[in-house]
Amino acid sequence: MRLLTILFFCLSFIGTANAQFKGTVFLDKNKNKLADLNERGMPNVAVSDGQNVLSTDKEGNFNLPGHSKTRFIFITVPAGYKLTDKHYIKVAGTDKAYDFGLVEDPTSAGASVKMLQITDTETDKYNDWIVNVKNYAKKQGISFIVHTGDICYEKGLNFHANQITSETLGKQIFYCIGNHDLVKGAYGEELFESLFGPVYYSFDAGPAHFIVTPMRSGDFQPSYTVDDVIKWMRNDLAAVDKNKPVIIFNHDLLTYNDQFILKGKQDSINLNDNNLKAWVYGHWHNNFVRKSEKTGIHYISSAPPDKGGIDNSAGQFLSIEIDKNGVKEVKPHYTYLHKHLVVTTPSGADMVQVKNGSLIINANLYDSETTAKSVRSLIYDSKGNKVAETTLTANTDWNWEGKIFATKLEKGKPLTLQTEVLFADGEQHIQKQSFTIGIKTAGASLKWVNNLKGNIWKTAPLFAEGRLFAATIDDGNNLNCGVTALDPKSGKTLWHYKTRNSIKHEMAYDSGLVLCTDMEGFTYALKASSGALVWKKDLGMKSLPGYISAGVSEKGVYYTGAEGYFQALEVKSGETIWVNKEWRGGEGTPEKMTIAGDVIITGSNWQSLFGHDKKTGKLLWKRSDEGLRFRSSSGKYVDGKLYITGLNSIFVIDPKTGKTLQKIDADYEFKVMATPLVTDKYIIMPTAKHGVVAYDVNTLKEIWNTVTGNALVYSAPYAGPESGTVECSVVKYKNKLLFGASDGFLYVLDENSGDVLRKINLGAPIFADLSIVDDTVFIADFAGNVFAIANI
């Protein structure tokens, strides 16, 4: 049977090699997908047989020679147009007419064009994220959507081909083939081709030329080679204006280097010589945008829109705007949120801030399908009279802020705050809540809130030298990322230092310096007193994944980096003491390194947990068994033991040998960024889907489980709707347990029962750990707010 199949393909290739493929590209005015007599042909449209590329004549006609592997005839859709059918026609004989109908598309014309990227959806189930993508594209003037692969396996491929199409979305969608889209068949891409057409092709939109390229290899061997792709790409680019920016889509990043050279066995092409401006990819399930300082080329990756990323990146899709210079703007859009609004202050009697005579209004709001156009707040007295109003301004994609003179407001009497949001899609949302000024409560109270103008991921507020330090991320344009110092008493910004890329995780303090490493592997040593840069070091990150872990400092040594650039640095100078040379590979892990006596503990997600001699860097042991290679959490060193989680287990490990001393097997997923809390009674650990769980520290039996609300934004790997995720570590404060959750609430629990004593709605996911100084709790939320709450 296999010999007959091979013979069939050989005969087919011989036939196509001698064929002539004729057709017309025409303006399909009545959109019936047929070339009617009164519909004019479209000249100068590029058409390809998978190797040869030529342009239609003045009548819109073409005649392609074909080649040995021709299976499709496809066109490069010109800017300002879209197809009435597909961009390809399957080869079905030499006498078939290959006609392509076009209609005008204003969203594809103009000096710039907006697109959406989705990736790694890996699903055969319909969910709200699809509606989010569809509605955002419709409301925001998006021209087209690209799915950069891992659609995934047979079920996912068939589901997307039926449910996530240009017809159902109302926008052209183009698919890349990923490694899990190469499935069993006569050849790896056979099913993909039957559903989505050719694995490489191009189209124009706005001022740019876009190229879809295939994954080199995957679960099953493809029939195409890299040389096949290069041969076609060279011909495709030869037909393109050399001044046009070129944007390439692929399931994976070709290279982390500055030179994008695609190499086959016999041929190669330097894409830098062809005005390459961006490489847009997926595969890593993470949020990472980088722009090369040398070439200006953008490297753009997104986590999936339907679930959390492998490295706990927030689930999202990207909007990307392209102009004549390349990438103009990149924006993340988090899914599953509809008209979400929480006014954090003023609220009640305790969440009220009056600063310099003004009442501070702080609101976290978000919608996955549109943006807020304007926000205003009105205040009414107890009789219903309007006594004040103000317009709020945006701090981040989540947060808005305004002020009202407090002298206009009665103290000690109930007031009503009415917040009105007008969204860009024309919809309006109104919310009311009561508050009171000037009443002192015996319990918790807000001291201040300050928004840092950038999102905050896992960076816990750091207290040192009488200052509070926090760091921000920018997963779009790398503009709003950096380190900020605050006055812990007033919340006033003391200084800000802009970093090259996002500071994803915790910072360290040593010898008067604040130390941190950004996602591109650059380490910064900043003076805590002034923010002045003392030294900056390129750790030597030469490949993915991006750096999202947290380093640690001890006695003048800062441990940071991963893989071949995991190293120990002298704090004062930045000089390297040692570099790891004993392991590489894996995915980024959002852990904080753990100093366990003479051992430094680190890891690589999907690879191993490692124990190194902290003085020499020598690898002492590694563990990849029992779910320990699927990790996101940091370890906790207590009484000579390391407490750390795997996928579904909590381990107690001897840090010197790596051997398991005790183990808790659970029905929970522990793949969160939190660290276990170990008290004299309990081991307390957050989970990906079921809130927080406590075990008896001696018997290891489960004592209680407190489930939190559904996450606002999904971050735990593969976690989606109905996940009560807690990424924030639990801290013990007096006789209570405190943590922030992905549902946007600050929780206060009873340690022995797990009962919720109090919860405060802050309206945005809290991924970062809490910091407690004296009787004040400092909380950093994803919206970029830092809150100081006293006496909780």
440 three-state secondary structure: coil
Nearest to 321 by CA among 81, 140, 113, 141: 113
Token output for 313: 């990146």
* Token pair listed for 565: 């650039």
User: Mean pLDDT, consecutive 10-residue segments, the chain of 792 residues?
Assistant: 39 50 94 88 97 96 95 97 94 82 95 98 97 97 97 97 96 97 98 98 98 97 97 97 97 97 97 98 97 97 98 98 98 98 95 93 97 96 94 98 91 95 95 90 85 98 98 97 98 98 98 98 98 98 96 98 97 98 95 97 96 98 94 96 96 98 96 97 98 98 98 97 97 96 98 97 98 96 97 87
CB atoms within 10 A of CB 108: 22
3-state secondary structure labels for all residues of 580-629: CCCCCCCECCCCECEEECCEEEEEEECCEEEEEECCCCCEEEEECCCCCC
Cα–Cα distance between 511 and 508 in angstroms, integer? 10
CB 231 within 8 A of CB 254: no
DSSP 194: H
How many angstroms separate the CA atoms of 166 and 462, rounded?
A: 48
Q: Are 615 and 598 contacting, i.e. CB atoms less than 8 angstroms apart? A: yes
Provide the pLDDT for residue 220: 97
Report the distance separating Cα 414 and Cα 440, nearest Å. 14
pLDDT at position 266 is 96
| pLDDT reported for residue 38 | 87
State both tokens at 601. 């503990």
Task: State the pairing for strand pair 144-147/113-118.
Answer: parallel
Token pair, residue 320, equals 């990307």
- Residue 94: the pLDDT is 63
Counting other chains too, the contacts that 85-88 makes at CB distance below 8 Å and 24 or more residues apart are 85/33, 86/197, 87/174, 87/197, 87/201, 87/203, 88/197, 88/198, 88/201
Residue 621 one-letter amino acid: W
Cβ–Cβ under 8 Å, residues 81 and 104: yes
Please answer whether residues 578 and 561 qualify as being in contact, where contact means their C-beta atoms are separated by less than 8 angstroms.
no
Task: Name the burial class of residue 667, with classes exposed (0-12), middle (13-18) and buried (19+) by CB atoms within 10 angstroms of its CB.
Answer: exposed
Distances from the Cα of 423 to the Cαs of 131, 362, 426, in angstroms? Answer: 17, 18, 5
How does 14-43 read in b/e, with b if 16+ C-beta sit within 10 Å? eebeebebbbbbbbbeeeeeebeeebebbe
Type of residue found at 280: V
What the chain holds in terms of domains, given with CATH numbers, is 1-104 (2.60.40.10), 105-307 (3.60.21.10), 340-439 (2.60.40.1220), 443-576 (2.130.10.10), 591-672 (2.40.10.480), 677-766 (2.40.10.480)
Instruction: Find out whether 690 and 668 touch, Cβ atoms under 8 Å.
Output: yes
* pLDDT score of 96: 79
Nearest 5°: the CA angle 374, 379, 384 is: 130
Whether the CB-CB separation of 369 and 423 falls below 8 Å is answered with no
Cα angle: 300, vertex 306, 307; to 5 degrees: 85
What pLDDT shows up at residue 8?
A: 38
Is the bond leading into 545 cis (omega within 30 degrees of zero)? yes
What is residue 13's predicted lDDT score, i.e. its pLDDT?
A: 42
Q: Give the residues across from 180 on adjacent strands.
A: none
What is the three-class DSSP state of 196?
A: helix
Distance in angstroms (rounded) separating the CA atoms of residues 505 and 162: 40
The pLDDT, as a whole number, for residue 508 is 98
Residues 437, 354 contacting (CB under 8 angstroms): yes
Kindly state the helix (H) or strand (E) to which residue 11 belongs, with its residue range: helix 2-17
Q: What's the rounded Cα separation, in Å, for the pair 163 and 161? A: 6
**Which structure tokens are listed for 549?**
């872990």
Distance in angstroms (rounded) separating the CA atoms of residues 747 and 674? 15
Give residues with Cβ within 8 angstroms of 610, minimum separation 6.
Answer: 583, 601, 602, 603, 604, 619, 621, 622
Give the pLDDT score at 10.
44
Q: Whose CA is closest to 644, among 619, 671, 604?
A: 671
What is the per-residue DSSP string for 336-376? S--SEEEEEESBBTTB--EETTEEEEEEEEE-SS--EEEEE
Please give the structure tokens belonging to residue 267: 């041929």
Residue 4's pLDDT is what?
37
* Element at 235 (helix H, strand E): helix 226-238
Q: Do 693 and 666 contact (CB within 8 A), yes or no?
A: yes
Q: Tell me the backbone φ, ψ of residue 360, rounded to 5 degrees.
A: -90, 130
Q: Cα 495 to chain center, whole Å?
A: 28
Answer for the pair 727, 315: CB distance below 8 angstroms, yes or no: no
What is the 8-class DSSP label of residue 388?
E
The full DSSP string for 640-666 is TEEEEE-SSEEEEE-TTT--EEEEEE-
Residue 650 CA to its chain's centroid (Å): 27
The percent helix, strand, coil of the chain (3-state, each to 5) is 10, 40, 50
Element (H, E) at 10: helix 2-17
- CB-CB contact of 428 with 422 (8 Å): yes
Angstrom distances, CA of residue 444 to CA of 220, 352, 760, 777: 59, 11, 10, 10
Beta strands in 714-754 (DSSP E): 731-733, 736-740, 745-750
